[in-house]
Amino acid sequence: MTLRIDVITLFPEMFGGVLASSILGRALREGRTEVVLTNLRDFAGDKRGTVDDKPFGGGPGMVLLCEPLYRAVEAVRGQDSRRGLVVLLTPQGERLTQGRVRDLAGRERLILVCGHYEGFDERIRPVADLELSVGDYVLTGGELPAMAVIDAVVRLLPGVLGAEDGTREESFAAGLLEYPQYTRPREFRGMAVPDVLLSGNHAAIAAWRADQAKARTRARRRDLLGEAPDADG
């Protein structure tokens, strides 16, 4: 059973290029996964397609109404026998990690809900099984976060990356940042490729890469080692 990914969004047109190109496009064409886009505005309660309103208590911007979103989630759920994990994209969510991406890639169905404007009416939260944030910054909408989730998940699906599959040794695979990578030319503007990589000595290359991954992680992301950032970190 391939993974089905539903997306509830006010801007389905934003996904076109991303879902048609490169590795994602090929995975979809080869039927290794399916992505179904649903326009939230189709579930508005009035002819004008109203899906948001001013926040009670005042304040800037608009808030997404709960009714259209509940209708949309229930309708999308009903389109397939697989229950699906409902994921709300929000800066208030759990920060997305490779570990969570691996978890999502093992599911049979995801229903990604994209916010917009100032965010969701609080009473939307119970509809979600999981809230995810792609980082501590504020975007104009949940569409780019949803695309990031789709990209990170689909590349882990069987046969998507194929032979050139680098997922085993890449950043975060072992909880570390990835080691430095080099390709031709051997020398560029005075910068040479480390000799060990040209040695053909695979044990030495593996040891060098492991050291580099640890050193780079310690230098840049001590948090990944569960260590507090150093004083001047």
Amino acid present at 5: I
Backbone angles phi and psi of 183, in degrees to 5: -140, -175
Cβ 95 to ligand 4FV, closest distance in Å?
9
| Cβ(216)–Cβ(177) below 8 Å | yes
Q: Which stretch binds ligand 4FV (CB under 6 A): 19-27, 76-84, 85-93, 105-113?
A: 85-93
Which member of 62, 85, 139, 205 binds ligand 4FV (CB under 6 A)?
139
> What is the spatial distance between Cα 164 and Cα 179, in angstroms, rounded to a whole number?
17
- Closest approach of ligand 4FV to the CB of residue 5, in Å: 16
Instruction: Name the residue nearer to ligand 4FV (CB basis): 137 or 168.
Output: 137
Place of tokens 């789709």: 150
Q: Which tokens belong to 175?
A: 């909880």
Q: Which is nearer to ligand 4FV, 1 or 138 (CB)?
A: 138
CB 94 within 8 Å of CB 131:
yes
CA atoms within 13 A on the CB side of 73: 22
Can residue 134 be called a binding residue for ligand 4FV (CB under 6 A)? yes
Label residue 84 left, alpha or beta by phi (over 0 means left) and psi (-120 to 50 means alpha). left
Among 2, 98, 133, 171, binds ligand 4FV (CB under 6 A): 133
Q: Side chain identity at 228, as an amino acid letter? A: A
The residue within the footprint of ligand 4FV, chosen from 55, 141, 175, 180 (CB under 6 A), is 141
Residues numbered 91 to 130 that lie near ligand 4FV (CB under 6 A) are 91, 115-116, 119
Q: How many residues lie near ligand 4FV (CB under 6 A)?
A: 15
For the chain, the distance separating the N- and C-terminal CA atoms, rounded to the nearest angstrom, is 46
Q: How far is the CB of 122 from ligand 4FV (least distance, A)?
A: 13
| CB closer to ligand 4FV out of 112 and 213 | 112
Q: Give me the residues that bind ligand 4FV (CB under 6 A), please.
A: 89-91, 115-116, 119, 133-135, 137-139, 141-142, 145
